[in-house]
Amino acid sequence: MRAIRAQNLSKTYSFYEKEKGIKGSLRGLFRRRKVLVEAVKEIDLDIGVGEVVGFIGPNGAGKTTTLKMLSGILYPSGGQLEVLGFIPFKREKAFLKNITLVSGQRSRLFWDLPAEDYLSFLKVVYEIPEDVYRQNLQSLVRLAEIGEILRVPQRKLSVGQRRRCELVAALIHDPKVIFLDEPTNAIDLMNARKIRQFIKEKGKEGRYCIVLTSHHMADIEQVCERLIIINRGRIVYDGRTQDLTRLNGLNKQMRAVLQDPFAVEHVGRLGKIIEKNGQEILLEVEPHRAASVASELLANFSVKDISIMDPPLEKIIESIYEGRRPG
């Protein structure tokens, strides 16, 4: 079942350019130059229920603008858009009851109230039947591991604990489409791991469409099976996350542990040295040379261990951001 469908979706912002100085300000009273900025440029999206999709890109690429259009906060400048069969910007009640947007930049909880009170408030807002509310609450509290902090005022919780409470609050009405904008932003490793596990468990249920933006590659690698990369307002990759490492054009990495002391310059002739730690060395070599470099290492050095790896996902994505998309 299709959850999100967009064709030629675009968003253009406009503002008036201001000249510097007092003279410029005075001229601006009578003559102003209008500037148009295309934040999102005719993108197509087709995402189904049951998918957990990473939606990433560098700062200013159009990620948050797209999420805001999908959730109905922003009105598109062009194209067609449907979420669960609704037109988002109309903000119909049935639509709002079936989506949620969680932002790592902003808190929806009341500072002086415990999560339990806020969840009771949401029960009334979303008109959730008592039995359904109790069932959802029990499941989400267990999954998010917040049972011990439900009655603690938000101001006394850590950022990570508040974020987990926010996830429960965002999902208490059982929305079918879940937008997560930087959910692990500015939190510690342990809470980030718990949030990733929470998202993975919800995704496994197969009843939700989850769209996740993040600058943390761990979020993408551990949670998302599909990845959409947007850059400068356009989609530059849409496919399985694991397929990125199979794209041609990026160098391989070779890690070798040598038994005897060695001259760095001798090994350096085989490839670019990325890292050296005692007897362990990390080389970067062209894909077509990987096998021959491994053979040379084994023939000319006393090798204790050797491995050939694809470049890290972060490096692959960085190359796409820079316009060096592997072909």
CATH number at 251-309: 3.30.70.1560
Q: Are 210 and 52 in contact (CB under 8 A)?
A: yes
pLDDT number for residue 47: 97
Report whether pLDDT(101) > 50. yes
Enclosing H/E stretch for 318: helix 313-321
pLDDT number for residue 314: 80
Q: Which fold has domain 2-245?
A: Rossmann fold (3.40.50)
pTM of the model: 0.82
Report whether pLDDT(81) > 90. yes
CB atoms under 10 Å from CB of 66, counted, come to 29
Report whether pLDDT(106) > 80. no
Lateral strand order in the sheet of 234-240: 99-103, 177-181, 209-213, 52-56, 226-231, 234-240
CB atoms under 10 Å from CB of 31, counted, come to 7
pLDDT in tens, 230-258: 999 999 999 998 888 666 567 888 999 99
Nearest partner of 229 among 50, 38, 54, 102, judged by Cα = 54
Question: What is the band of 150 on the pLDDT scale with cuts at 50, 70, 90?
Answer: very high
Domain ranges of the chain: 2-245, 251-309
